[in-house]
Structure 1
Amino acid sequence: MRIMKILFKNRRILFLSFNKNNYSTAPKYLATLRIGEKEYRTDEYTNITPKILSYLNRNLHLKKDNPLSLVRQRIVNYFYSSFTHGGNPIFSVYDNVSPVVSTKQNFDDLLIPEDHPSRAKSDCYYINSTTLLRAHMTAHQSELLRAGLDNFLMIGDVYRRDEIDSTHFPVFHQIDAVRSQRKEQLFENHPDLDIFEPSFDRTNPHAYTNSISNPIKQSCHTLEATKLMEAQLKNHLIGMVRVLFGEDIKYRWVDAYFPFTHPSWELEIYYEKNWMETLGCGIVRNEILANAGPNNTIAYAFGIGLERLAMALYKIPDIRLVWSTDSGFLAQFQNKNANANIVYKPVSIYPQCTNDLSFWLPPTTTIDTFTNNDFYDLVRDIGGDIIEQVKLKDKFIHPKTKKHSLCYSIVYRHLERTLTQAEVNKIHKEIEDAATKAFNIVVR
């Protein structure tokens, strides 16, 4: 099968096509990249790969026989039943929004500083310097607020460059939510109380410099408003966790930092003898609300990963399984009630094959400047979903030559059949050849 590997040269994308383990000698330079029906210009930021593009529009969270869809439905049902007005749910759901977003949506609208590490090319899949695949569903928060929405759930696939193991995948799924309230809603029984401090001019909110130096609240908010929103937020999320994991689940709150909320917390649950981070949440920064429209509300927000919940609820041992099309896997979730107690049963257990790859870095690269995620993407592009794990096994600097060397351990395992060592060796050699050409390394 022909695969396209993206490299970079002179600010243009260089597509080196290779068939099996042989690179083409005729590279093509493309100034644009087509995603769906739209073409995007490319530049030095472009690092999205064909393998990642192949995951677009899969919408696992909407596939009724997928465990992610069951978890999604349970959470949506909880919010539908818990928040109603006149018998109708007050939360709206957006679960089919394009994952292509601007850097403004993904970062600037959320007050993420320009030097924040989450913006790095090593962390995100960039289409170009101003466009990327969303790294979180929160990227759609400001546009929905500007549309006049007060309470909404955003559900979809998000993309982050990351390590490779049984719990990490470059694509995963999130539910993000916002609930905002006006003064008369929040203080229905206490009209003398207010959301904002007397010094805050809501007619000109941009003239007010909001501070988050106080760990308890934002400077624009009253303590009463902050504490009431915090109590609501935590009660609502504890209720959701109890619906998922049972009334007796142990939990704890941990103070956290997110650029777009203050104060912020993470919720951990005690699950199978370990504390497991479940979600992040907090009070939405008032600047975000002010930039989105009328500044007369206070809001909370949270974000939660569906894969982590599904793997815990259904005892799924490997995150790659949620992408499986194997009937033996899907049948276990087919035509099931969202609240059904399902425990995944392995169809078969296939052995691992592990090969190491050691190489010398080029003279201009050190073990500290080499980007692991670049190597991980290359390995995944060539090996596909039979790559179970890639671990940095060893770093070495030669005492005399001062050459820098890295050694990675690559674990291969097919989810549906036994791999032979011969076919693993063949793929491993393709990875060696591709890495040699891509990174100018010398295999040891």
Structure 2
Amino acid sequence: MMIDKIKNHIADVERFVSDNMEEIEQFRIKYLGKKGILNEFFAAFKDVPNETKKEYGQVINQLKTKAQEKVTLLKEAWENAQEENGIYGDLSRPGEPVTLGSRHPISIVKNRIIEVFSNIGFNVSEGPEIEDDWHNFSALNLPEYHPARDMQDTFFIQKNPEDILLRTHTSSVQVRYMDEHKPPIRTISPGRVFRNEAISARSHCIFHQVEGLYIDKNVSFADLKQTLLYFTKEMFGKSKIRLRPSYFPFTEPSAEIDIYWGLETETDYRITKGTGWLEIGGCGMVDPNVLKNCNIDPEEYSGFAFGMGIERIAMLLYQIGDIRMFYENDVRFLEQFKSIV
């Protein structure tokens, strides 16, 4: 009788045991394949007498369920055995589990700045951290004995016959970029810089900057303002900025960039000293002398430049009160950024 035959197959399925993947696959094909036993029984359903159709259908479904469960169970057991062999059979594996790392907040902010400016056509340029006097000072309208050199306390590696130093800003990268490329130029230069300053909660002798440069025909101060406004909206979600007159040797006119941070919390009052305004960087139109030094005709081209500290932006975004925390490699501090891309 067909029903008894199916029950015999159910018993065979329950007895089947194997730790060989090839045998398990053959078993699966035998019962669950397109030309398998189950399909044969389903095809014979039409010839079963009406009074036994119900019981026939029940045992066929039981066989199908038992076969599927058996295949799944044996495959999982085989995979677990393989994984266990992989773990305990590899003597080169670390003795302790390796914990998941996280991106450094400086890297997170730098990558976000690059992304924001990349969306409006700025590429990324990099240069050496050990620079000569020409690229770090003279080409930027800071000739020898210029009083503005005192604004930046420099780490000198070699004074004579040629000054070799650790760069004090990433503007040196812009000089190199202008030497090697013709306008139109649209680039940002993120990187590490060095200044001989006392280390405190608000300043460090090592920090990171990102500087931007745009040179083309008919570039105006209005272009600079709109670029900075776009950046502050994307980076901080702030839509109000102001540009205060300032002085930088390589830009004329020059300005400090302030954003309106607001006065909604006690922290806002503290970091803005009760004004609601917060300085984030400097900017200005590229001085014609700088263009000349880089063999760009200032009669034909104009441009703007801006710069800001990456640590300062990170401190604002994540409410970090001490710049030294970025360099101490305290795991408790760094683990807070695991969930941030």
TM-score by length of 2: 0.61
Counterpart of 2:167 in structure 1 is: 134
Among candidates 219, 223, 232, match of residue 232 of structure 1? 223
Matched, 1:93 2:124: yes
1:105 correspondence with 2:96? no
Residues 175, 304 of structure 1: 8 Å contact kept: yes
Residue type matched to 1:164 in 2? I
Stretches of structure 1 lacking an aligned partner (at least 5 in a row):
1-62, 84-90, 187-224, 338-444
Query: 2:320 aligns to what SS in structure 1?
Result: coil
Structure 2 unaligned spans of 5+: 1-100, 262-267
Residue number in structure 1 paired with 2:179 = 146
TM-score in terms of structure 1 length: 0.47
The CA distance in 2 between the partners of 1:321 and 1:118, in whole Å, is 31
RMSD of aligned C-alpha atoms?
Answer: 2.1
| Contact 1:125–1:133 (CA under 8 A) maintained in structure 2 | yes
Cα distance in structure 1, aligned partners of 2:137 and 2:130: 13
After superposition, residues 188-227 of structure 1 pair within 5 angstroms as none
Deviation of the 1:104 alpha carbon? 1.2
Q: Please give the alpha-carbon distance, in whole angstroms, between the structure 2 residues aligned to 1:181 and 1:158.
A: 27
1:181 Cα offset (Å): 0.9
CA contact (8 A) 1:64 1:70 kept: no
Contact preservation (8 Å) 2:148, 2:249: no
Summarize the Cα distance change of 1:180–1:121 in structure 2 as closer, same or farther, 3 Å threshold: closer
2:253 is the alignment partner of 1:263: yes
Asked if structure 2 preserves the Cα contact closer than 8 Å seen for 1:65 and 1:335, the reply is: no
- The correspondence for 2:114, drawn from 53, 59, 76, is 76
Distance 2:280 2:175 in 1: 24
The answer as to whether partners of 1:125 and 1:159 remain within 8 angstroms in 2 is: yes
SS state at 1:242 partner: helix
Note closer, same or farther for the CA distance 1:293–1:335 as it changes in structure 2 (3 Å cut).
farther
1:317-328 correspondence runs (5 A): 317-328=321-332
Cα offset, 1:82, TM superposition:
2.1
Preserved CA contact (<8 Å) 2:173 2:189: yes
CA shift at 1:335, angstroms?
A: 4.9
Relative to structure 1, is the Cα distance of residues 251 and 121 closer, same or farther in structure 2, using a 3 angstrom cutoff? closer
Are 2:219 and 1:178 aligned? no
Q: Does 1:303 align with 2:334?
A: no
State the secondary structure of the residue aligned to 1:82. Answer: coil
- Quickly say closer, same or farther: Cα 1:122–1:143, change in 2 above 3 A: closer
- Alignment length, in residue pairs? 222
Give the distance between the partners of 2:290 and 2:233, measured in 1 at CA.
Answer: 31
How far apart are residue 70 of structure 1 and its match? Answer: 1.4
Counterpart secondary structure, 2:241: strand
> Which one has a larger percent strand, Structure 1 or Structure 2?
1
Q: Does 2:234 align with 1:243?
A: yes
